[in-house]
Amino acid sequence: MALSTYLSRVQFDFGAVSLIQDELDYLGIVRPLVVTDPGVKNAQLLDRLVEHMNSDYLVYSDTPANPTEQAVLAALAVFSDGGCDGVVALGGGSPIDLAKAVALLHSHGGLINDYNVQTGGSAKIGDITPIIAIPTTAGTGAEVGRACVMTLADGTKCNVVNLNLIPKTVICDPELTLGLPPMITAATGIDALSHGIETYVSKQINPPAEGLALDCIRRIASNIEKAYFDGTDRSARWEMLAGALEGGMVLQKGLGAVHALSDPLGELKLHHGTLNAVIMPHVVELNRDSAREKYQTIARVIGLKDPDGLVDWLRDLNTTFSMPSSLGAMGVTEEVIPDIAGKAARTHLSKTNPRPMAAEDYIGLLHGLL
Amino acid sequence: MALSTYLSRVQFDFGAVSLIQDELDYLGIVRPLVVTDPGVKNAQLLDRLVEHMNSDYLVYSDTPANPTEQAVLAALAVFSDGGCDGVVALGGGSPIDLAKAVALLHSHGGLINDYNVQTGGSAKIGDITPIIAIPTTAGTGAEVGRACVMTLADGTKCNVVNLNLIPKTVICDPELTLGLPPMITAATGIDALSHGIETYVSKQINPPAEGLALDCIRRIASNIEKAYFDGTDRSARWEMLAGALEGGMVLQKGLGAVHALSDPLGELKLHHGTLNAVIMPHVVELNRDSAREKYQTIARVIGLKDPDGLVDWLRDLNTTFSMPSSLGAMGVTEEVIPDIAGKAARTHLSKTNPRPMAAEDYIGLLHGLL
């Protein structure tokens, strides 16, 4: 087994899930709450985790696809009533984000919105209840991320961002991803790819993140189709999970217009990765003159003959995966454009896009995307 | 200015040294000891640092080329007598390693050898006195490294390895490296390159380190000659410092036979980077069949036409930089071979070399290197 240590302690290899009890002991967690979702539970992944746990654990398995404040409070009640002292998140971005919110509110009290990054609340966050994150998709990178996105009671999204939200230990076991259906493999994989591409071209200076972003892109680009067409390809699953991990580590460099749009669009209950897949070619095209050299480096890393072929390659990838042809095909209608564009222009994610993005720019983008 | 956060907090850009007081305040250091060496002081780099400090600081500027236990005790006396509460290391690997030893002994007491990794002493290390590291060469990566190498009173080398030795904050300012002489630029640059190459092919699993190692290799390979022939090339100096930083971050993946040899040879007071430059082509050749695919990936990243051209490229680089043609040319004689080979085979650095290395293997290598 292999140990990496950056800000998170990462156990990465086939069978790494068997280390769960060691990692609980390492963090001194004696009564963990395992947070997961129905899909993960039905896929027997929960069983494959808890069979390696001697601890007296509790489970909350009702995490919704886009985690809500309501679900956080329900899980927090289980955590508190059960006298838990740590959270184990098993699943994709949703259970991991929910676990972060539970650990935050348990240690700090208050409501999610008290820690909203938009209102400066995130800065109040200190050490939180320890979290062990075990990703079962190769996508969000939430397992090493400092952000937590929740849908509040009023339906709006709340971003909480602080280094203390990063799980203390991450267990990446590619075997847990072998059964991932092709469509989820593609959507979450393109999400990871979008992290590599958006952070690599972002305006922030962070040399190591550039290296990690390019390696994320290389791993995902050369394995996403293999994993899509043959989910049992162990080497492809290993590389996809490694790429997604790297994609999570580089989020600190800042994202861009793709995520600035997919976040508010997520409030319409649309899949985050699928949104990014549909939006990304349009954003890369719009950004081209502002980040041409970097897009060409990406094309070289992917192995494209045409140095400016990134947009077409992304379009072809969407076709291969039968992604929706447009946001319209996903059910997005003209009426929501002004609201979405306004939210996109206001988010911190817009600030690091290579090209300045105002509401009008997003309105133009969205019209082209319908 | 740009902030990265991995295990260290890294401020990276031209002029970053002006942030020193902010970073001292961030860590709550009110009376720092600045540890440096005569070369750095004579190059006026110490002046360029302290002009940005309001703190009431002290200075120890007598760090020897290969830091000794004696120097550590001298610096520790200045630190303690002066009532210091933090260390600022300014220089190459020597002042940074010395600063780590001072911070360790100040917070933990005892002697360096009590914390020797070979005897398990390193495991005893907890939080240490805070360190801010400011590299003035693009080489060792000691600024983000968990290791500290000291020459003990009896002349032997002592390796101390613990995550708590990693400086709390790193300030990378490429402007501090503009005046680095060509020979030091080459020797320290090849040291950084050797970190990328040895860790990339090491047997440990650490996916993010692979990405960082390849990016380290790419940056150093495409800029080391520019920086050697024109030390004022700002872009080349920026890339060299970024590559060295990445090379330091990946040391956790484990080195190999090059460093297994250069460490004991360093006890003969030979320059670490120059030793690595002379030794590396021979080790890459010896390892070739055990890591051929990875060496070919490295050749691709460097942009070599011949997929197996890494050895020749390294040899040509040594010729370009007028490196010594052999260890013999550096004054190493046949008598020391058995001792050096034995030490190399015993060090933890040998364990991650792609090919198993016994004392006989090192004896063969050393004979070819004389």
Start-to-end CA span in chain A (Å): 47
pTM of the model as a whole: 0.90
Question: How do residues A258-273 score in pLDDT, each as one tens digit?
Answer: 999 998 998 888 988 9
Domain CATH number, residue B358: 1.20.1090.10
**Do A218 and A107 share a domain, yes or no?**
no
Q: If you average pLDDT over residues A130-153, what whole number do you get?
A: 92
Please state, for a pLDDT cut of 70, what percent of chain A lies above it. 98
**Mean pLDDT confidence for A29-48:** 96
Residues near B24 by beta carbon (within 8 Å), at least 6 away in sequence: B30, B32, B53, B55, B86, B88, B132
End-to-end CA distance of chain B: 47
Residue A254 shares a structural domain with residue A353: yes
The whole-angstrom distance between A73's CA and the closest CA on chain B is: 31
The whole-number pLDDT of residue B143 equals 93
Residues B334-339: contacts with CB within 8 Å, 24+ apart?
B334/B370, B336/B268, B337/B363, B337/B366, B337/B367, B337/B370, B338/B363, B339/B264
Distance, CA of A334 to CA of A326 (rounded, Å): 13
A4 pLDDT band, cuts 50/70/90, is very low
Which residues in chain A have their CB less than 8 angstroms from residue B242's CB?
A: 207-208
Average pLDDT, chain A: 94
Q: B212 at the A interface (CB within 8 A)?
A: yes
- Give mean pLDDT, residues B64-83: 95
How many Å apart are CA B310 and CA B281, to the nearest integer? 8
User: Which pLDDT value is given to residue A65?
Assistant: 86
The confidence score (pLDDT) of residue B7 equals 64
CATH number at residue A11: 3.40.50.1970
User: Cβ(A116)–Cβ(A160) under 8 Å?
Assistant: yes
**Residue B5: what pLDDT?**
42
Looking at residue B32, what is its pLDDT? 98
A244 and A207 in a common domain: yes
Interface probe, candidates B6, B216, B301, chain A, greatest A C-beta count within 10 A: B6
Closest CA to B362 of B336, B340, B347: B340
Nearest chain B residue (CA) to A215:
B211
Q: What is the reported pLDDT for A77?
A: 98
A165 lies in the same domain as A262: no
pLDDT for the residue A5: 42
pLDDT at B9: 82
Instruction: Report d(CA A169, CA A23) in Å as an integer.
Output: 7
Are A211 and B215 within 8 A, CB to CB?
yes
ipTM of the complex: 0.86
B163/A236: higher pLDDT: A236
CA distance A362 to A279: 11
Indicate if A167 and A201 belong to the same structural domain. Answer: no
Contacts of A212 in chain B (CB under 8 A): 208, 211-212, 215
pLDDT tens for each residue of B232-256: 999 999 999 999 999 999 988 899 9
Per-residue pLDDT reduced to its tens digit, A47-84 = 999 999 998 999 999 999 889 999 999 999 999 999 99
Q: What domain count does chain B have? A: 2
Angstrom CA distances, A307 to A104, A289, B300, stand at: 45, 13, 17
Three-class secondary structure of residue A223 per DSSP:
helix
The predicted pLDDT at position A7 comes to: 64
CB B340 within 8 A of CB B362: yes
pLDDT confidence tier of residue A157, bands split at 50, 70 and 90: confident
The answer on B186 and B166 residing in a single domain is no
Q: Is A15 on the interface with B (CB under 8 A)?
A: no
A196 and A137 fall within a common domain:
no
Please tell me which of the candidates B6, B163, B253 has its beta carbon nearest to residue A208: B6
Domain that holds residue B186: 180-369
Mean pLDDT of A324-338: 96
**In terms of domains, do B172 and B186 share one?**
no
Q: Report pLDDT digits (tens) over B323-354.
A: 999 999 999 999 999 999 999 999 889 999 99
Asked whether residue B223 falls in the same domain as residue B143, the answer is: no
Smallest Cα distance from B159 to chain A, Å: 20
Distance, CA of B134 to CA of B145 (rounded, Å): 13
- A12, A205, A210: which to substitute to probe chain B, counting the most B Cβ within 10 Å? A205
pLDDT of residue B6: 52
The letter for the amino acid at A191 is D
Query: Average pLDDT in the B218-235 region?
Result: 97
Domain finish residue from A142, A176, A210? A176
CA B360 to chain centre: 27
Query: Is the pLDDT score of A1 beyond 50?
Result: no
- Which pLDDT does position A6 carry in this prediction? 52
Q: How far apart are CA B63 and CA B97, in angstroms?
A: 10
Q: Which residues of B touch A252 (CB under 8 A)?
A: 4-5
Question: Mean of the pLDDT values across residues A141-161?
Answer: 90
Same domain, A159 and A242: no
Contact with chain A for residue B246, Cβ under 8 A? yes
- Same domain for A90 and A168? yes
Q: Which of B147, B176, B205 is the last residue of a domain?
A: B176
Q: Are B140 and B61 contained in the same domain? A: yes
Q: Among A130, A155, A176, give the residue marking a domain's end.
A: A176
